[in-house]
Amino acid sequence: MTDKKEKKYKWRREGYKENTKGLLMVNTGDGKGKTTCALGLMMRAAGRGMNCCMVQFMKSKNDRYGEHESAELLGIEVHTMGDGFTWDTKDPAQDIKTSEETWELCQQKMRSEEYDLLVFDELVYVLDYKFLDLQKVLDEIKTVREAQPHLHIVVTGRNAPLELIDMADLVTEMKEVKHPFHAGIFAQQGIEF
């Protein structure tokens, strides 16, 4: 009887990282699931031994969410940097300052060359609100992707600008068809946070 040869999956092959095409992925739209989708991708990547990090722009740095608990168990780094999610800012100067500080951390993570997958959660909101300069953000992402062609980057948030969509390799638009909030059901632990 002959020994069965182990199937050589792409991620086990020599030179896999060097032959990988890093993707810029955008999760946008008015429907629920943009962050959840990114978290699922990080879970998959971590399961394949990829080094993952998520930076959250708007969720409050003073709160702890379910994704933090799970990410720790999987060895996924998460940095929650925001002042709390708001649709109607009361202090735009503070929101701009927080966005700039958070983007600085994103740049450090991108430039470090330590990661296989980076998720910049809610970055699209910050761009839509004009808290950061869109062209500077796109230029930095482009520069990093040229230097690290294997790096995958995911950005999330509503109203992705056309320039970001054009630059992306994968764009998914979440469309709200029905939401429990409209039936009087509020955010629930384990579903929204």
Residue among 128, 118, 112 at smallest CA distance from 165: 128
pLDDT in tens, 116-147: 999 999 999 999 999 999 999 999 999 999 99
Residue 157: is its pLDDT beyond 90?
A: yes
Neighbours of 130 (CB within 10 A): 11
The CATH number of whichever domain residue 52 belongs to comes to: 3.40.50.300
Say if 188 falls within a structural domain: no
Read off the pLDDT of residues 169-180 as tens digits, 9 standing for 90 and up: 999 999 988 877
Distances (CA, A) of 193 to 69, 114, 172, 188: 11, 28, 22, 7
Q: Is 145 domain-assigned?
A: yes
* Residue 53 lies in domain: 24-173
What domain count does the chain have? Answer: 1
State yes or no: pLDDT of 54 exceeds 90.
yes
Rounded Cα gap, residues 138 and 167, in angstroms: 8
| Domain annotation covers residue 13 | no
CB atoms near residue 119 (< 10 Å) = 28
**65 lies in some domain:** yes
- The pLDDT of residue 10 is 53
The residue that leads in pLDDT, 86 or 115, is: 115
Confidence of residue 5 (pLDDT cuts 50, 70, 90): low
What's residue 61's pLDDT? 86
CA distance 31 to 41: 18
Asked whether residue 52 is domain-assigned, the answer is yes
pLDDT category at 3 given cuts 50, 70, 90 is: low
Residue 50 burial by CB count (10 A; 0-12/13-18/19+): exposed, middle or buried? middle
In a domain, residue 130? The reply is: yes
Q: What is the pLDDT of residue 52?
A: 97
